[in-house]
Amino acid sequence: AKYGGVLYVDSLSTRDGPVPTYIDLLNTTVQTIAKGFDQ
């Protein structure tokens, strides 16, 4: 297995971080998983 990136499963970041809202959390997690399928 290869490291595919950070998964934010239940924690939001600060307002200026990568996942400040729940929608951002979902989008980032889905994109990270999808990128993993390409590897």
Q: pLDDT per residue over 1-39, tens digit each?
A: 677 788 888 889 999 999 999 999 999 999 998 888 877
Q: What is the pLDDT of residue 14?
A: 94
Q: What is the pLDDT of residue 22?
A: 95
4 is written with which tokens? 């595919």
Q: What is the pLDDT of residue 23?
A: 96
Q: What is the pLDDT of residue 1?
A: 61
Gap between the Cα atoms of 11 and 25, Å rounded: 8
pTM: 0.75
Count CB-CB contacts under 10 A for residue 33.
Answer: 12
Gap between the Cα atoms of 4 and 37, Å rounded: 9
